[in-house]
Structures are given as C-alpha cells and as structure tokens.
Structure 1
Amino acid sequence: MEWISVEDRLPTSEMDLLVCTNTYYMGVGWYYPQTQKWDFEIQKHTEADLGEVTHWMPMPKPPEIF
C-alpha cells in the first residue's frame, strides 16, 4: 500500500485509515465525507497539536492468526 496525498484524493466513505499529518503524527484516523472533517484516535498522553492530515491509506488486513 502507498500513502495517498489529500491533494490527490480524499476517502469517499467512512472507514478506518492510517493518517499522517504535517506535524509527523501517524496513527488511526477517519474522514467524514459528509462534513469534510478528519478525526483522530488520540493517545491519552498526547496533548500536542496533531496538525492537518497530509496523507492517508486504508488500514491493512490483520494477520491470519489461526
């Protein structure tokens, strides 16, 4: 999977995503097409400004455990 720039394309549906911001935060995020807003999974010890999303990619499939 490759990172997708928000300048090239935005997600078209709500789904779990990996996101990267201009402050180098990388984590789980969501894009809501109806409101054109991003939301992040914020770690409980993070109080810093997470910045603006610059890139995203769909979450990979989990490993097969069994």
Structure 2
Amino acid sequence: MRLIDADELKKRAVKVCFPNAPECGEFDAVVIYEIDIMPTIDPESLRPTAHWISDSAGSTNVVCSACNAISFAAYNFCPECGKRMVSADDCWISVKYRLPKQQTEVLAFRRGIMYLAWYDNEIGRWASNEWGLLDAVTHWMPLPKPPEVTQ
C-alpha cells in the first residue's frame, strides 16, 4: 500500500452522470491507471514536527519545542509527544516563543507575506530595509546558509 496525493488525483477527475439513471446525480470519477501514476506521499511528512532546543542551564540536555519535554539525547522523535524533530533552521518560530538575536536578518512572516527583516530590541519593533517598520509579525525563520560555490 502507498499514500497518494489526493489533491493531484482530484485534478484529473471528470464529472460523470448515468444517462439511464439521472436520479443518481453527477459525481467525480477517475480512471484506474491515473491512480497508479499519482505522486507518492512520504508518511513521515505527515507527522507533526518540532525541534530540539539546547537547555539554557548549560547542560547537554535538550528540550522539545512542542511539549517542553527534557531529553538526554537529541532523538529523531520526541519520546513524549512523538513529533518528528527537524532542524530549527528549517522551521518557522513563533514570536510568542522567542525572538531572533538583536539585528540578525531573518525571514519574517506577517499577513501571509514573507519579508527580509530583523527585530530591533531597542525600539521593540520589526524592521525591514525595503518596507521600514513592520507590525503584526507572527513568525520568523533563520536565513538559509548560502550555497557552496566551487570554481
């Protein structure tokens, strides 16, 4: 058995109605071979994610960002809540949870749009070179590492 992308399958559906049985109404149908060519979904991609946070007490312990469980090792999954652990650099961080380091450029998210911005602790506001001061920022993410360029 494999998981398929149902959204992709729905794009290929056609409306069908039996002419001899109009009381059945109209419904969507797909051809069987269309199912076989649908993209497969990795089941692990459906598992909720979190990330490990270094213990602020200076120990080697880590804390789950989702349930605050303390672990002695950074497993691939949190033993308490079962969430799949991802790199903190690969996920959005709520501004309610924590803010980026002072004057560090990050991707900021507000009202459905991403901005290149930073948080200014002195004035307690988000700022962007292109857009000035930003309000209503809900999440932020560290910038990705630049690619390695070989000459």
TM-score normalised to the size of structure 2? 0.36
Structure 1 residue 52, shift from structure 2 partner? 1.4
Pairing 1:27–2:111 present: no
RMSD: 1.8
Cα distance per residue 1:2-58 (max 9 Å; x no partner) = 10001111123211100100x211020111112111112437xxxxxx751100011
Counterpart Cα distance in 2 of 1:39 and 1:28 = 9
> Which structure 2 residue ranges, 5 or more long, are not aligned?
1-89
The alpha-carbon distance between structure 1 residues 3 and 17, as it changes in their structure 2 partners (threshold 3 A), is: same
Residue equivalent to 1:3: 92
Structure with greater helix percent: 2
The alpha-carbon distance between structure 1 residues 34 and 51, as it changes in their structure 2 partners (threshold 3 A), is: closer
The equivalent position to 2:106 in structure 1, one of 13, 17, 39, is 17
The alpha-carbon distance between structure 1 residues 42 and 25, as it changes in their structure 2 partners (threshold 3 A), is: farther
Structure with greater strand percent: 1
Paired residues of 2:125 and 2:135 also in contact (CA < 8 A): no
SS in 2 for 1:53: coil
Length, aligned pairs only: 59
Overall identity of the aligned pairs, in %: 41
Residue equivalent to 1:46: none
Counterpart Cα distance in 2 of 1:61 and 1:30 = 17
> Which structure 1 residue ranges, 5 or more long, are not aligned?
44-49
Higher relative contact order (CA 8 A, sep 6+): 1
